[in-house]
């Protein structure tokens, strides 16, 4: 059961999505991915820091052989996107000719995802797909093909299940929205 309200820095957050609903969404994504990649061995490229919980839970539900790698990028300052994406920790694996699935916690403006898709496409993978736990369609500023979407949500600022507000809130199993 989520806490009634949580305080992070100078903001209050109220319960939004319970852990159970998130888990069901991840299980449904895992079934689709396992079917789509049957007989293949994709490399999941997890975008740190926000997607660590999603990546962990998603991979535990998959029924296919797979690998995971991590990349860290940043485009947020506080509660809003800066619009500027900078790669912080690069991908060490050779991805040429591999089936890649980018695992992201949330896609809102699409700036980060557009930059990642461009970065990874240049490395010549066999295929490239995106799996995001949350998508804010009304915020998108780029046309993106996001094959696997856990939940579409409105333009609320959310924390929990890996998502943070200036470093706090990632540890909550439920998702909360700013009030």
Give the residue numbers annotated as catalytic, written as ranges.
108
* Pair 175, 161: CB distance under 8 Å: yes
Is residue 130 within a helix (H) or strand (E), and if so which, with residue range?
A: strand 127-135
In terms of Cβ atoms closer than 10 Å to its own Cβ (0-12, 13-18, 19+), residue 81 is middle
Token readout for 113 is: 């995802």
User: Which whole-number Å values give the CA distances from 72 to 8, 21, 91, 94, 164, in the listed order?
Assistant: 23, 27, 9, 17, 15
Q: Give the CA distances from residue 35 to residues 32, 68, 82, 155, in Å, rounded to whole numbers and listed in that order.
A: 5, 18, 37, 31
- What are the tokens at 58? 């998603």
Q: Which long-range contacts (CB under 8 A, 24 or more apart) does 117-123 make?
A: 117/144, 119/87, 120/45, 120/91, 120/95, 123/91, 123/95, 123/96
């Amino acid at each position: 059961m989520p806490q009634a309200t949580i305080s992070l820095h100078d903001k209050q957050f109220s319960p939004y999505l319970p852990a159970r609903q998130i888990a069901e969404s991840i299980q449904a994504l895992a079934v689709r991915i396992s079917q789509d990649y049957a007989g293949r061995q994709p490399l999941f490229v997890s975008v740190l820091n926000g997607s660590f919980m999603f990546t962990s839970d998603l991979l535990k539900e998959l029924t296919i052989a797979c690998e995971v790698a991590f990349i860290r990028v940043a485009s947020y300052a506080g509660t809003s996107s800066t619009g500027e994406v900078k790669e912080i920790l690069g991908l060490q694996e050779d991805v040429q000719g591999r089936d890649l699935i980018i695992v992201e916690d949330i896609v809102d403006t699409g700036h980060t995802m557009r930059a990642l898709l461009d970065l990874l496409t240049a490395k010549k993978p066999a295929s490239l797909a995106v799996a995001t736990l949350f998508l804010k369609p009304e915020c998108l500023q780029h046309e993106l093909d996001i094959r696997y979407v856990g939940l579409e949500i409105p333009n609320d600022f959310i924390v929990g299940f890996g998502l943070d507000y200036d470093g706090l809130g990632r540890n909550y199993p439920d998702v909360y929205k700013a009030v």
